[in-house]
């Protein structure tokens, strides 16, 4: 079993599956994160370390490939995206790509900046996914409906456009509050009614990365 990252909704069954004999595989940073108590600031959530048997027992630093049942399955690490331990799972013969929470179809991205995530890395991860795909590839998000390359590109381009607008605004000397008032995400107001986070989360993260200093943060979770 592959953990695409360390958040509990994607590894919560580790202990039970390990008890049933499953071999748990993940990037080395997943094991590191799960070895200690953690905090996800964007959700103001503390997490206790799971029991040792829930930790991955096979870890890798970059990529690893499995050959099972006639299928070539590549697990590809994408750095500093949703977290610092994200991986894609590519099924070559089935022509399917699972992106974990590096892609949330129908939501703004959740950037777990306290645990190594970045907006820049999320955009870069989407670029990697496009490179691994063709027009027929089924792209499986961490949450939301399965889509294809066009759906992923549209999502990626939204993020890149916000990132570019915020970077230009920071360069011109604008504050975070000024940028929020200008609303570089206005074009997509209402596009993600069930988003896990508000658009402000993306603006704040873009500002933090562009200014290379912490942005004032508030609870930007969606009310949905």
Quick check: 188 and 168 in contact, CB under 8 A?
Answer: no
Residue 26 confidence class, pLDDT cut points 50, 70, 90: very high
What are residue 17's phi and psi, to 5 degrees?
Answer: -70, -40
The token pair at 149 is: 């390359």
177 is a domain residue: no
* 53-69 tens-digit pLDDT: 999 999 999 999 999 99
**Cα dist from 161 to 89, 119, 206, whole Å:** 27, 12, 11
Domain count, the chain: 1
Which CATH number goes with the domain that contains 79? 3.60.15.10
Please tell me the pTM assigned to this model: 0.92
Quick check: 139 and 155 in contact, CB under 8 A?
Answer: no
Quickly list DSSP for 18-34: HHTTPPPEEEHHHHHHH
126 is a domain residue: yes
| Structural domain of 122 | 8-158
């Amino acid at each position: 079993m592959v953990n695409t990252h360390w958040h509990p909704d994607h590894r919560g069954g580790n202990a039970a599956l390990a008890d049933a004999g499953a071999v748990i595989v993940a990037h080395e940073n997943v094991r590191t994160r799960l070895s200690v108590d953690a905090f996800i600031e964007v959700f103001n959530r503390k997490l206790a370390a799971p029991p040792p048997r829930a930790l991955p027992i096979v870890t890798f630093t970059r990529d690893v490939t499995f050959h099972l049942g006639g299928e070539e399955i590549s697990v590809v690490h994408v750095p500093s995206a949703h977290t610092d331990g994200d991986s894609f799972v590519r099924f070559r013969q089935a022509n399917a790509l699972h992106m974990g929470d590096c892609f949330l179809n129908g939501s703004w991205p959740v950037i777990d900046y306290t645990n190594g995530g970045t907006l820049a890395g999320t955009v870069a991860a989407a670029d990697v996914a496009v490179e691994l795909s063709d027009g027929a590839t089924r792209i499986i998000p961490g949450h939301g409906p399965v889509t294809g390359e066009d759906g992923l590109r549209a999502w990626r381009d939204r993020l890149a456009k916000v990132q570019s607008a915020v970077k230009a605004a920071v360069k011109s000397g604008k504050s975070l509050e000024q940028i929020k008032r200008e609303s570089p995400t206005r074009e997509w107001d209402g596009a993600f009614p069930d988003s896990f986070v508000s658009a402000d989360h993306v603006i704040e993260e873009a500002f933090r990365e562009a200014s290379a200093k912490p942005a004032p943060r508030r609870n930007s979770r969606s009310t949905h």
